[in-house]
Amino acid sequence: MSDEKSLKGTWAELKAASKYTKLGFFVSKPFDPHCPFDLVVTNRDTGESFLVDVKTTSYRKQDSYTAKKGDRINRVPTRQQKKMGIRILYIQWKMPDGKAKDVHLSEVVHPKQ
């Protein structure tokens, strides 16, 4: 995996964990790098948990037979993810129209003070 792709994935996971934490959930990260999910999210009151696989949103760069340029690329859960009830959560990295400001890796790794 390229450094840029890895950093982007780490940023998305942290953003998701932050969102769930702000909503009052406990959030845990598995130790196994080959785990089919990225986060374990637990309701503080009921103790109920669910598993989340975090994806950064990607958009098609050109038209294809079944999709148009600018359409979001949907990630299909694996058979194992379906069996385990893993939820896929998309985190926005870049807007498809290019008008919104992108998050640059330099700002993620070394945020402006």
Q: Chain-wide mean pLDDT for the chain?
A: 79
Confidence (pTM): 0.73
Rounded Cα distance, 89 and 76, in Å: 12
**Position with higher pLDDT, 65 vs 31:** 31
Pairing status of strand 87-91 against strand 49-56: parallel
DSSP 21-52: HHTTEEEE--S-TT-S-SEEEEETTT--EEEE
Going from the C-alpha of 13 to that of each of 8, 29, 59, the distances in angstroms are: 9, 9, 19
pLDDT digits (tens, 9 = 90+) for 27-41: 999 999 899 999 999
